């Protein structure tokens, strides 16, 4: 009886879920398809071509200097943020997990606050700071880098701390019992075990930064620091050509490439180190941010 009832409810929900999946993905897929439109329009199909990808000598994604510029800016910003935020975040995670005494609350509060502060607040505050207080920091790449590191630092901390909790102190204690110094235990036992969380945070931070709009936009300084999302934002309305769709498609492809490489990396690591979970655990690592 119960099973039959449950079965019926489930089947009704299957339609809902398929409906949702279609609703959430089809518009994007259409936008991708229109990047191959032969005409200037982003809404009326005029035949298939690679005109807006590379054939048009000025306006296509790979030929337009502005679009290429935006792609390069996006990639450079994302990689630079990773380089700064990863060591900073891992150290902070270890420190915040184990710190005691005075100042603990400050550290805990500071590391969790950016996670739930809306970006516009962070962006606006940093804009004011860089234009009025820390005026030595020029708007543009430097400010965008500092802003993105600030905003993504907490996600690294959360991901790494979750891993620290699941590892527990016993491995390090064992190493210490065997004569390792505290530093050696950290370096040769703990850090290698943190690797999956580091990898997950690399993926998450890369995707966050490359997709970031608000902070990057508030802290930009004109075209020299225009990233892909900024470019999309400024030209969505009006007469932009399907090259814009192509540019957006590239952005999505980049995120997914990083995600998939990250997922395979994580599940391979898990397999090699005899941890269970495989793909699903890897997915959980990467999406931990959301839950």
* Tokens standing for residue 224: 């020299």
User: CB of 285 within 8 A of CB of 196?
Assistant: yes
115-134 residues in contact with another protein (CB under 8 A) are: 116-122, 124-129, 131-133
**Could you give the 3-state DSSP secondary structure of residue 241?**
coil
Residue 190 in the binding site for another protein (CB under 8 A)? no
Residue 70 in the binding site for another protein (CB under 8 A)? no
Residue 213 in the binding site for another protein (CB under 8 A)? yes
Q: Nearest distance from residue 65's CB to another protein, in Å?
A: 8
Residue 249 in the binding site for another protein (CB under 8 A)? yes
Binding segment for another protein (CB under 8 A), chosen from 25-33, 48-56, 187-195, 266-274, is 25-33
* CA–CA dist 55, 182 (Å, integer): 59
Q: Nearest distance from residue 273's CB to another protein, in Å?
A: 22
How many CA atoms, within 13 angstroms, populate the side-chain half-sphere of residue 154? 17
Residue 147 in the binding site for another protein (CB under 8 A)? yes
Instruction: For residue 48, report the phi and psi dihedrals to the nearest 5 degrees.
Output: -90, 135
User: CB of 140 within 8 A of CB of 221?
Assistant: yes
* Tokens standing for residue 104: 């603990």
Binding segment for another protein (CB under 8 A), chosen from 47-55, 187-195, 206-214, 267-275, is 206-214
Binding segment for another protein (CB under 8 A), chosen from 7-15, 48-56, 190-198, 268-276, is 7-15
Binding segment for another protein (CB under 8 A), chosen from 48-56, 139-147, 187-195, 265-273, is 139-147
Question: What is the per-residue DSSP string for 107-129?
Answer: HHHHHHHHHHS-HHHHHHHHHHI
């Amino acid at each position: 009886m119960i099973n039959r009832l449950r079965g019926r409810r489930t089947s009704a929900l299957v339609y809902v879920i398929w409906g949702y999946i279609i609703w959430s993905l089809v518009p994007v897929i259409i936008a991708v398809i229109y990047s191959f439109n032969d005409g200037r329009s982003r809404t009326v199909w005029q035949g298939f071509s690679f005109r807006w990808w590379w054939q048009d000598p000025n306006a296509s994604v790979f030929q337009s200097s502005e679009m290429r510029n935006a792609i390069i800016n996006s990639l450079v910003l994302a990689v630079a943020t990773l380089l700064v935020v990863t060591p900073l975040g891992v150290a902070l995670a270890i420190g915040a997990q184990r710190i005691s005494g005075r100042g603990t609350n400050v550290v805990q509060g500071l590391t969790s606050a950016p996670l739930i502060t809306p970006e516009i607040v962070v962006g606006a505050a940093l804009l004011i700071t860089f234009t009025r207080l820390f005026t030595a920091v020029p708007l543009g790449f430097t400010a965008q880098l500092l802003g993105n590191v600030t905003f993504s630092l907490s996600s690294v901390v959360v991901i790494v701390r979750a891993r620290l909790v699941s590892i527990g102190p016993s491995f390090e204690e064992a190493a210490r019992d065997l004569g390792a110094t505290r530093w050696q235990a950290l370096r040769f036992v703990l850090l290698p075990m943190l690797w999956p969380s580091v990898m997950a945070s690399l993926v998450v931070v890369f995707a966050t930064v490359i997709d970031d709009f608000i902070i990057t936009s508030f802290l930009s300084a004109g075209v020299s620091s225009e990233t892909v999302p900024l470019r999309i934002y400024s030209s969505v309305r009006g007469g932009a050509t399907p090259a814009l769709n192509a540019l957006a498609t590239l952005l999505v492809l980049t995120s997914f490439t990083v995600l998939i490489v990250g997922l395979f990396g994580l599940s391979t690591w898990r397999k090699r180190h005899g941890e269970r979970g495989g793909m699903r655990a890897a997915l959980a690592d990467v999406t931990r941010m959301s839950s």
